[in-house]
Chain A
Amino acid sequence: MMSYRVHVRVMPREGLLDPQGQAVEHALSALGFDDAGAVRIGRAIELDVAAESRDEAETRARQMCDKLLANPVTEDYLLQVEDR
């Protein structure tokens, strides 16, 4: 059994209002960073997954995202699997 490091990036679904992103965008603008736009704020999760293969680790991580780590109604996620 191998151990894989899984990086999960959970983001609010495109098109849904992201008030945190808007607030940070305003703050950046107030600091003079007028070049910043379309700020969105999500969540990063890292975990180790014990699996026989990288594919298996990704499949398991995907199940974890679908069941708990991301809300399928409001969020999308990206997975990245690394060897430990």
Chain B
Amino acid sequence: MTRVAVVRFPGSNCDFDALRAAENVGAEAYFVWHGDANLNGADVVILPGGFSYGDYLRAGAIARFSPIMQAVQRHAAAGGPVLGICNGFQILCEAHLLPGALMRNAGLSFVSKPVDVIVERTDTAFTCDYEPNSRLRIPVAHGEGRYVAEPETLRMLESEGQVVLRYVAATERSPFQPNPNGATNHIAGICNPDGNVVGIMPHPERAAERLLGMTGGSGFFTSLVPAYEDSSNSGVKT
């Protein structure tokens, strides 16, 4: 059974949602505390959303130095899958597990609403259940989600296919503002060169079951469980 460790930092607030989304697909999900030294045999690590350490200094800047992050670094270096959602994405950038940074939204406001994104990379541990170029509706909820990176980093991300999620351009089919935060190249999520470390601003765990009103994010969790089949998950291969 796939073992999924959800890391809790002081200020994490999407930890239960991520745990439940992983449990719902049959994974053995459990919490690890930021002060722990190891991941208890995790196959997969999720850094959930929230406001770790109150976002002091910069979002994710302090969480990066938590004891558990050394174990996360080792897990990632060994090719283990790591997913950072929202604040988790910010932590992965601060920890240099992913390039670039997430800055204050261009519109300054905290943005909490559904957005439409395209899944551009489907060979990661978290997106392999999606068809290439699937279009998903998933909520975002962040004040600092504007992805920025050096020009050469952006060129590399684009040429190497490291953009995992991209906000959909404005069309008649999407009633939502296409890019909620001013992210460069409309980037909503990226991965490292090996594809095992993924960071995304949208919250798939908030769109992972019918009770939540949206199921577009469920593929991030069903992807973790090889044999998982559930025809009720829209946008997901069965």
Write the residues of chain A forming the contact surface with B, with a CB cutoff of 8 angstroms.
12, 16-17, 19-20, 23, 68-69, 71, 73-74
B105 close to A19 (CB less than 8 A): yes
Instruction: State the Cβ distance, B106 to closest chain A Cβ, in Å.
Output: 5
| Chain B residue total in the interface (Cβ 8 A) | 20
Known: A71-B101, A73-B148, A74-B101. A19 touches B106 (CB 8 A): yes
- Which residues in A have their C-beta under 8 angstroms from that of B146? 17
Q: Tell me, yes or no, whether B150 is within 8 Å of chain A by CB.
A: yes
B61 and A20 form a contact (CB under 8 A): no
Of B93, B100, B104, the most chain A CB neighbours within 10 A belong to B104
Q: Judging by beta carbons under 8 Å apart, are B101 and A73 in contact?
A: yes
B15 at the interface (CB under 8 A from A): no
* Complex interface residues of chain B between 24 and 72 (CB less than 8 A to chain A): 57-58, 61, 65
**14 A-B pairs in the complex with CB atoms less than 8 angstroms apart:** A19-B182, A20-B108, A23-B108, A68-B57, A68-B61, A71-B94, A71-B101, A73-B93, A73-B100, A73-B101, A73-B149, A74-B101, A74-B103, A74-B148
User: Which residues of A lie under 8 Å from residue B94 when comparing CB positions?
Assistant: 71
Contacts of B103 in A (CB 8 A): 12, 16-17, 74
> Which chain A residue has the least Cβ–Cβ distance from B64?
A68
Cβ of B107 within 8 Å of any chain A Cβ, yes or no, is yes
The listed residue (B61, B104, B108) touching A71 by CB distance below 8 A is B61
Summarize B's interface: helix, strand, loop or mixed: loop
A19 in contact with B108 given A71-B101, A73-B101, A74-B103 (CB within 8 Å): yes
A-B CB proximity, top 10 nearest: A73-B101, A74-B101, A19-B108, A19-B106, A71-B101, A19-B104, A23-B108, A71-B58, A74-B103, A17-B106
Q: CA–CA, A36 to B94, complex, Å? A: 34
Residues of B within 8 Å of A12, CB to CB, are 103
Please, which residue of chain A has its CB at the minimum distance from the CB of B102?
A74
A20, A69, A73 interface centre (most CB from chain B within 10 Å): A73
Chain B residues 144-193 with CB under 8 Å of chain A are 146, 148-150, 182
Q: Establish whether residues B108 and A69, one from each chain, have CB atoms under 8 Å apart when the complex forms.
A: no
With A68-B57, A73-B149 given, is the CB distance from A17 to B182 under 8 Å? yes
Q: How far is the CB of A78 from chain B (nearest CB, A)?
A: 17
CB nearest neighbor in A for B146:
A17
* Closest-CB distance, A70 to chain B (whole angstroms): 9
With most chain B CB atoms within 10 A of its CB, the pick from A17, A20, A74 is A74
Query: Known contacts A19-B104, A19-B105; is A73 also within 8 Å of B150 by CB?
Result: yes
- Contact residue among B57, B99, B101 (Cβ-Cβ distance under 8 Å from A69): B57
- In the complex, A40 Cα to B61 Cα: how many Å? 22
B230 to chain A, nearest CB (A): 39
| Closest residue on chain B to residue A72 by CB atoms | B101
Among B94, B99, B107, B148, the one with the most A-chain Cβ atoms within 10 Å of its Cβ is: B148
